């Protein structure tokens, strides 16, 4: 670990205003993924999170409950810490802005700016939203209320919250003085605000129209940090809150070694608070003689189909409920995979359950299961690299190298969904490699033993690479994969990751499936029920006047999914001796050898040779069946009956044999 290889990442500090939902957990999980990734890349990493505990909002909330702010806040802080524990958040420090070291450091910073004349005493008159803890000019309001004389009596902030009139003595920060410096800073630090689009918003909507001086203290309530030289003023909650990112490191305290080591760092924030972090925050730091953050990344919101989560809409998802039923890793995976980090994304129960089934149970789970059982079956659970290669090894190893490189590129850009998609490309390629090399065929001949072992080695090694890359996202799952591969290591460095690990004669454990398949309908109904607070949710609307003409009962989608349908080309066909019904087909269905299917359709094809060269549809995974004592039929040919006729189902000539139908 080199001296300057440090990484500092922060979440916003949360308002303790109630139980945190899945949307609030989103930032914390994303930062955790980054922190874990950087640690595995050999960085000395510091991850900060915490609570924003001052301000009018908290004071009023506590009063409503008949509590002092502290009595209200302490249990809340414990609840939040308990949630982060459930989400396996590896923070290095949890700051509360009521911590003494923070309060002292903020007071000192305020006095410094006052002494420098960056702060001056004046009078504020304007609109304030308590919910947002934010000042607004009339023109910034979404809506204004007027009395019969046209005088404005109130209004609505862009967030949808009510504003109230505030008129009081206040200290102002000379923001305007630093506008040119800030524009120049953006210009010379093109990566400071990300994604890029948020930068233009800041410049055009807030800086260019003119930066107003910021009211920095309040006198109409007391729940805040008092200004030492004039204690009837308490410091504005955002000034107090933003400084947490450096006071947590010991800034303005006796031991500021962490501050010296880690600042400047990266601030990860939701898009609605980018303004505070990219305008006020760098100006405050600059005025204090300190560097601005390396980067402020404004991520999007996690939304529901009908907009933001809210109890009144009955669409709130709490992470605890999902974790309890589906496990933590499914939740972390979903949030990081399903949504492009910089943009808004919509949570739907269908998508969530689908991802678990397809990505986790099918793609990843099956690869692990097949690999482990083949290593057990064909080589007594030992993983041995040999020099007997197959023609597919080179391209497979190339995909490993490419995946690792792309993964790093994506992680450096905070493109978590892209990084995971890269890992899944490797998983899909490895699954295909099983089909290409057909280990069960190699297992039939003793001469192919070395080749077989090398194929099995490639499978195990790719899974080790996959699990290594997944560590920041799904620690428990990676651990299970390492265990099933018989590895005693519980973690691998991502920094040193390369194909070619020497498995020291490990015995592969026969493990349980890491993600069991879910019944989609049942689970979607369950999640919807939980979202609506336990009420049974009405079934989706089905047109009542459509009568389905069925001969068999309905089946679930999951049942249908078990059937593998494929395109197969007729290579040869002949009548079966001793039967007037059966035709014996030799078909190319993309298997290593032509497959044989017997089908009782002879009477409909007096000239059966007309079928040669046709591309048919077959059920490919039907259990093989012995017919006429000597023929094994491996599948079924699909056909349609109408009147007294029957025709096999054909497909376009240019669809290759072996293609999956679905």
Binding site for ligand ME8 (CB under 6 A): 12-15, 23-24, 26-27, 52, 241-242, 244, 269-270, 272-273, 301-302, 309
Compare residues 52 and 359 and give the one whose CB is closer to ligand ME8. 52
User: For residue 116, which phi and psi values (nearest 5 degrees)?
Assistant: -80, -5
Shortest reach from residue 350's CB to ligand ME8, in Å: 19
Shortest reach from residue 283's CB to ligand ME8, in Å: 15
Tokens representing 152 are 């404005």
**For residue 164, what are the β-bridge partners?**
128
Separation of CA 99 from chain center:
32
User: For residue 79, which phi and psi values (nearest 5 degrees)?
Assistant: -60, -45
Residue of 182, 173, 176 lying closest to 112 (CA atoms) = 173
**Please, is 607 exposed, middle or buried when counting C-beta atoms within 10 Å of its C-beta (0-12, 13-18, 19+)?**
exposed
The per-residue DSSP string of 39-62 comes to HHTT-EEEEEEEE---SHHHHHHH
Shortest reach from residue 133's CB to ligand ME8, in Å: 8
Tokens representing 27 are 């930032």
The per-residue DSSP string of 133-181 comes to TEEE-GGG-SEEEE-TTS-EEEEE-TTS-EEEEEEEEEEEE--GGGHHH
Compare residues 272 and 522 and give the one whose CB is closer to ligand ME8. 272
What are the Cα distances from residue 13, in Å, to 56, 279, 322, 374, 554? 16, 18, 24, 49, 51
Compare residues 241 and 601 and give the one whose CB is closer to ligand ME8. 241
Please report which helix (H) or strand (E) contains residue 8, including its range. Answer: strand 6-10
Residue with nearest beta carbon to ligand ME8: 270
What are the Cα distances from residue 106, in Å, to 13, 176, 243, 420, 551? 15, 22, 7, 40, 75
Shortest reach from residue 29's CB to ligand ME8, in Å: 10
E-strand stretches of 522-659: 565-575, 583-588, 595-599, 615-619, 625-627, 631-633, 636-637, 639-642, 645-648
Shortest reach from residue 359's CB to ligand ME8, in Å: 22
Residue of 233, 250, 286, 234 lying closest to 113 (CA atoms) = 286
The per-residue DSSP string of 77-100 comes to HHHHHHHHHHTT---SEEEETTSH
Shortest reach from residue 306's CB to ligand ME8, in Å: 13
Shortest reach from residue 107's CB to ligand ME8, in Å: 17
Angle, vertex CA 523, rays to CA 522 and CA 528, nearest 5: 105
Compare residues 206 and 499 and give the one whose CB is closer to ligand ME8. 206
Q: What is the dihedral of CA 372, 376, 380, 385, to 10 degrees?
A: -30
Shortest reach from residue 369's CB to ligand ME8, in Å: 35
Shortest reach from residue 297's CB to ligand ME8, in Å: 11
Shortest reach from residue 131's CB to ligand ME8, in Å: 9
- Inter-residue contact 433 to 459 (CB < 8 Å): yes
Compare residues 73 and 627 and give the one whose CB is closer to ligand ME8. 73
- Residues near 534 by Cβ (< 8 Å), separated by ≥ 6? none
Shortest reach from residue 302's CB to ligand ME8, in Å: 4
Shortest reach from residue 238's CB to ligand ME8, in Å: 7
What are the Cα distances from residue 406, in Å, to 165, 396, 421, 465? 53, 15, 10, 14
Query: DSSP state, 269?
Result: E
């Amino acid at each position: 670990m080199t001296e300057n290889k440090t990484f500092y990442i922060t979440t916003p500090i949360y308002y303790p205003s109630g139980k945190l939902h899945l949307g609030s957990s989103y930032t914390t999980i994303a930062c955790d993924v980054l922190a874990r990734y950087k640690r595995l890349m050999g960085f000395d990493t510091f991850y900060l999170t915490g609570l924003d505990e001052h301000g009018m909002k908290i004071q009023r909330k506590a009063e409503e409950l008949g509590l002092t702010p502290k009595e209200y806040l302490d249990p809340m802080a414990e609840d939040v810490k308990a949630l982060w524990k459930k989400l396996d958040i590896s923070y290095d420090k949890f700051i509360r802005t009521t911590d003494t070291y923070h309060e002292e450091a903020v007071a000192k910073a305020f006095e410094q700016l006052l002494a420098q004349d960056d702060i001056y005493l004046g009078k504020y008159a304007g609109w304030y939203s308590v919910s947002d803890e934010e000042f607004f000019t009339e023109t910034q309001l979404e809506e204004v209320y007027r009395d019969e004389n046209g005088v404005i009596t109130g209004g609505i902030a862009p967030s949808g919250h009510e504003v109230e009139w505030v008129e009081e003595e206040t200290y102002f920060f000379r923001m305007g003085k630093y506008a040119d410096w800030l524009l120049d800073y953006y210009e010379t630090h093109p990566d400071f605000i990300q994604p890029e689009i948020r930068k233009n918003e800041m410049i055009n909507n807030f800086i260019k129209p003119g930066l107003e001086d910021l009211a920095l203290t309040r006198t109409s309530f007391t729940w805040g940090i008092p200004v030492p030289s004039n204690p009837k003023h308490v410091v504005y909650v955002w000034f107090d809150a933003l400084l947490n990112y450096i006071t947590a490191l010991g800034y303005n305290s006796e031991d500021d070694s962490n501050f010296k080591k880690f600042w400047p760092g990266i601030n990860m924030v939701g898009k609605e608070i980018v303004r505070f972090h990219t305008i006020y925050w760098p100006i405050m730091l600059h005025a204090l003689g300190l560097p601005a953050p390396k980067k402020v990344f404004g991520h999007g919101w996690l939304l529901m189909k009908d907009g933001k989560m809210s109890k009144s809409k009955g669409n709130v998802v709490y992470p605890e409920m999902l974790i309890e039923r589906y496990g933590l890793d499914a939740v972390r995976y979903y949030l990081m995979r399903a949504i492009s980090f910089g943009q808004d994304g919509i949570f739907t129960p269908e998508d969530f359950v689908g991802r678990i089934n397809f990505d986790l149970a099918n793609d990843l789970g099956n690869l692990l299961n097949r690999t482990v059982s083949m290593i057990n079956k064909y080589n007594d659970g030992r993983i041995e690299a040999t020099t007997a290669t197959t023609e597919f090894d080179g391209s497979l190893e190339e995909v490993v190298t490419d995946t690792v490189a792309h993964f790093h590129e994506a992680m450096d850009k905070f493109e978590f969904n892209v990084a995971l998609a890269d890992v899944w490309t490797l998983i899909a390629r490895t699954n295909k490699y099983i089909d290409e090399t057909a280990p069960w065929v190699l297992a039939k001949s003793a001469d192919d033993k070395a080749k077989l072992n090398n194929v099995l080695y490639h499978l195990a090694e790719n899974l080790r690479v996959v699990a290594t890359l997944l560590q920041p996202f799904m620690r428990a799952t990676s651990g299970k994969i390492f265990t099933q591969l018989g590895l005693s290591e519980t973690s691998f460095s991502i920094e040193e990751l390369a194909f070619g690990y020497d498995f020291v004669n490990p015995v592969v454990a026969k493990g349980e499936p890491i993600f069991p398949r879910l019944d989609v309908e049942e689970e979607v109904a369950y999640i919807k029920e939980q979202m609506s607070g336990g009420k049974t949710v009405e079934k989706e609307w089905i047109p009542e006047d459509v009568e389905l003409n069925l001969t068999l009962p309905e089946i679930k989608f999951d049942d249908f999914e078990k059937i593998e349908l494929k395109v197969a080309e007729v290579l040869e066909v002949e009548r079966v001796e001793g039967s007037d019904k059966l035709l014996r087909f030799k078909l190319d269905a993309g298997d290593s050898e032509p497959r044989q299917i017997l089908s009782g359709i002879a009477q409909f094809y007096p000239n059966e040779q007309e079928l040669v060269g046709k591309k048919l549809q077959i059920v490919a995974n039907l259990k093989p069946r012995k017919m006429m004592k000597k023929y094994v039929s491996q599948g079924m040919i699909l056909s349609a009956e109408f009147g007294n006729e029957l025709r096999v189902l054909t497909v376009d000539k240019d669809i290759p044999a072996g293609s999956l139908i679905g």
